[in-house]
Amino acid sequence: MPEKPNTLTFKQTLKMRRNYVGRSCKLHYEVAPLKIVRGSKQYLYDDSGNEYLDCVNNISHVGHCHPHVVNAGQEQMSKLMTCFGFLSDLQVAYAKRIVEMLPENLCVCYFLNSGSEANDLALRLAKSYTKNNDIIVVDHAYHGNTENLIKISPSRLKQHNMPIDDWVHVVPCPDVYRGKYREDNVSPGHLYANEVKVAIAKALDKGRTVAAFISEPNLTKAGMVFPPKSYLPLVYRYVREAGGVCIADEVQTGLGRCGEAYWAFESHDVVPDIITLGKPMGNGHPMSMVVTTKEISDSLKEFSSAYGGNPVACAMGMAVLDVIRNEHLLSSAKSVGKCLKDGFQAILQKHRLMGDVRGAGMLVGVEIVEDKESRKPNKDAAEALVYKLKEKKIITSNEGPDKNVIIFQPPMCFTCENAATVVKAVDDALTEVEEEDRQVSMSSDIIVPLSVITASKHKLSSDDEDDDDEYESPSKRFYEGVD
């Protein structure tokens, strides 16, 4: 009889994953994965009891396993867990509470289960309302896992070498550090916005019509890019003049994460026509939402989601809003985010591989480069830094189109003490990476990339051993010869 899952050894779990889970489903720290068994607040714990400071789990918005959120879910689950289609006090109360946090025109809610579902519905609403078809997206963006969303996610199109469909128009990412127009250009926001205007003109010349522009207000997957303040107001104006609507993807940036306000779009002085929210709403519980205007909503004749807005999700969502308010997490995100950003700024000139620091609230990015003059991305050093931080019991990730931006988007209960710990760890780890990089550069032997050195240091012993345990499957053949 198979053992219960909680009694499996690390090697057994790893081997079963290789046997039964798709090879394309990548693990964080693929070279040396962690087996995380418990979470609390801003901490995660592995199967050996080691405590890690979590700097990436934005989905656990108010902290892992927050007791108020857990209790709300447990209590409601013991009463009712049913599909959509019945009147629910919790659902309407939650919708009212969200609407009261938004500009007046954003007043109609749709409940779903994931950010992907929300963004997919947002596209459908835009096309239904405008009677147009084409979508404008920002380069390097990611908006979800459905087929339609992969087609408007340039980061995924490039990763899989897929063509861009005629109805998708990709405009440059408004990155003033390493993009087409940089901080030394006169009015880079206007220049980037003009790229959208040009894309609209080209589409119209081809007889195409623009349904929507979709973007995160602050672009996380693109490497924590914060557009110039003039960018979104101009873009929204150009898109609306062309007959389109503007969608703000707030899945990762909303509910106070950026510190200044509940919604990232507010810091750009714009009001979108549609916003989308994802699983941070329920602290990781499957929950998402689209909020739009009455006019746009009325254009869609019918919509249903089997478990969107179910009572358990709404109970947990209400609890998350309670925690944000009661624990003052909005102001905390602003002050703690400043501690983190200022700490990185203080060591910026000390490290030759540290190119840029940018952030707002609990969204901070550190760009790792070959040198400050060229600003060329240094993926190997960024990957080595992520693994060295893992050794120091800090979980982070390298993102962006060149995988050279270390991102920090922790649970909102993160503290200034945590921020100081992270800055010290990055300072120490980057010193080590820079020394290794110097030694590699000076070597007269064959040059070995830092990423290869990292893999060699962290490779699991179980990768080289033939584990003789009972967990085997015919799919093992699929992995033969693969580390």
Same structural domain for residues 268 and 344? no
Same structural domain for residues 257 and 385? no
Same structural domain for residues 137 and 103? yes
Of 438, 436, 470, the residue nearest 456 (C-alpha) = 436
Same structural domain for residues 288 and 178? yes
Same structural domain for residues 316 and 216? yes
Same structural domain for residues 165 and 211? yes
Same structural domain for residues 321 and 333? no
CA distance 475 to 264: 45
pLDDT band at residue 479 using 50, 70 and 90 as cut-offs:
very low
**Backbone phi, then psi, for 290, in 5-degree steps?**
-115, 135
Of 131, 112, 130, the residue nearest 120 (C-alpha) = 112
Answer yes or no: is 5 within a domain: no
Same structural domain for residues 321 and 334? no
Tell me whether strands 168-171 and 210-215 are parallel, antiparallel or unpaired: unpaired
Q: 353: which residues sit within 8 A by CB, 6+ positions away?
A: 368, 369, 370, 371, 378, 381, 430, 433, 434, 437
Answer yes or no: is 356 within a domain: yes
- The residue among 297, 326, 355 that closes a domain is 326
Answer yes or no: is 27 within a domain: no
- Cα–Cα distances (Å) from 217 to 138, 173, 222, 226, in that order, read 11, 12, 12, 8
Answer yes or no: is 483 within a domain: no
Beta bridge partners of 38: 45
DSSP H helices in 281-371: 294-298, 311-326, 329-347
Residue 482 has a pLDDT of: 36
**Backbone phi, then psi, for 54, in 5-degree steps?**
-90, 115
Answer yes or no: is 468 within a domain: no
Tell me whether strands 245-249 and 43-46 are parallel, antiparallel or unpaired: unpaired
Same structural domain for residues 367 and 386? yes
Between residues 307 and 355, the one the model is more confident about: 355
- The residue among 280, 310, 326 that closes a domain is 326
CA distance 202 to 212: 15
Query: What's the angle, vertex CA 463, arms to CA 462 and CA 465, rounded to 5?
Result: 55
Answer yes or no: is 9 within a domain: no
Cβ contact 367:177 at 8 Å? yes
Cβ contact 286:114 at 8 Å? yes
Same structural domain for residues 363 and 237? no
Which CATH number fits the domain that encloses residue 82?
3.40.640.10
As a whole number, the mean pLDDT across the chain is 91
Answer yes or no: is 272 within a domain: yes
Same structural domain for residues 342 and 220? no
Q: Report how many domains make up the chain.
A: 2
Answering whether pTM is above 0.85, one says yes
Answer yes or no: is 79 within a domain: yes
Residue 173 in tokens: 């990412």
Q: Quick one: average pLDDT of 387-411? A: 97
Cβ contact 266:226 at 8 Å? no
pLDDT band at residue 477 using 50, 70 and 90 as cut-offs:
very low
Tens of pLDDT, residues 256-315 = 999 989 999 999 999 999 999 999 999 999 999 999 999 999 999 999 898 899 999 999
Same structural domain for residues 317 and 360? no
Which CATH number fits the domain that encloses residue 415?
3.90.1150.10
- Cα–Cα distances (Å) from 438 to 120, 342, 391, 404, 432, in that order, read 47, 27, 21, 18, 10
DSSP H helices in 177-310: 188-205, 231-241, 294-298
| Residue-range definition of the domain harbouring residue 42 | 34-62+329-459
